[in-house]
Chain A
Amino acid sequence: MEEVLFFGAALGALGGAIGVVALRNPFYGVLALIVHLFSLAVLYLLLSSAFVAAAQVVVYAGAVMVLYVFVVAYVGGGGESAWESIPGQRFLAPLLGIAVFVELAIAVLSSSLLALGTDGPDVKPGFGDPAAIGTLLLEKFLVPFEASSILLLIAAVGAVVLAGRRREAA
């Protein structure tokens, strides 16, 4: 059962990722990314991290993707021109991507992490649930938590400054 779920979700994640890269219309790309994010949430559940999976669905597939859909609808999904500024870009880039994958896979599989081939230790039923993550966030990681909230505030202000209508520019 676990293998079926893993390979199903892995196929969904991979198909969504390839869809994002390959689809010409950015709107369909956003939809493919939503498929990808849902499949990743299933994988997080398989890794017994329920809170991260819930945050993935609510924050990513919900809020962030709505933002993308709004912007794609605003700027319009124009097709890209076929003009290549670097000769052979369409053939070199996948080669480079394959090279990155091979390199990462070699680095992972030849590492001396003994636990990599195992299922990992047996965890308690509360592993990765909201209470445990919340306790960690508010006790051990309080400073990063506050720093990320400040980062969010700065990003919101920055977006307003960047995208806001300017009178003198018109």
Chain B
Amino acid sequence: MSAEWFVVLSSLLFAVGATGILIRRSPVVILLCLELMLNAGNLALVAFSRMVGNQEGQVFALVVMVVAACEVVVGLGLIVAIFRRKLPLDVDELRELRG
């Protein structure tokens, strides 16, 4: 399989994740869609790494996985904190920070 198939698939997955972030209002699902976008980036990194024949892109992909894990931990911590304060889990109703 040539590399462009993988890259086009990765851009398709990225677009699906971006659409999800725009549509959904539950913070948990928005985090899931963020995962989709990060994984699409990872797929592109690994595909380019194979295309060039250089393993350094795979190290980048691993670092992206670490960053994604950190983002999940902090995001889920925020969601648990929101839930504990009996606030609605809906990004359209949590709008105090909007200027």
Contacts and interface: CB of A to CB of B under 8 A. Distances in A.
A169 B69 CA distance: 28
**Size class of the A contact interface (CB-based, 8 Å):** 35 or more
If over half of A's interface residues share one DSSP class (helix, strand or loop), that class is named, otherwise mixed; here it is helix
Contact of B11 (A44, A93, A101): A101
B80 to A, nearest CB: 4
A163 to B, nearest CB: 4
A119 B51 CA distance: 7
A47 B28 CA distance: 31
B32 to A, nearest CB: 5
Interface residues of B, number: 70
B67 A33 contact: no
A21 B2 contact: no
A21 B33 contact: yes
B60 to A, nearest CB: 9
B92 A140 contact: no
Given A49-B58, A119-B2, A121-B53, 17 more contacts: A14-B12, A21-B19, A26-B29, A33-B35, A43-B46, A47-B47, A49-B49, A52-B42, A52-B46, A67-B73, A75-B83, A108-B4, A117-B2, A120-B53, A144-B63, A151-B70, A162-B81
Interface of B: 1-9, 11-20, 22-26, 28-29, 31-33, 35-36, 39, 42-43, 46-47, 49-53, 55-56, 58-59, 61-63, 65-74, 76-81, 83-85, 89-90, 92
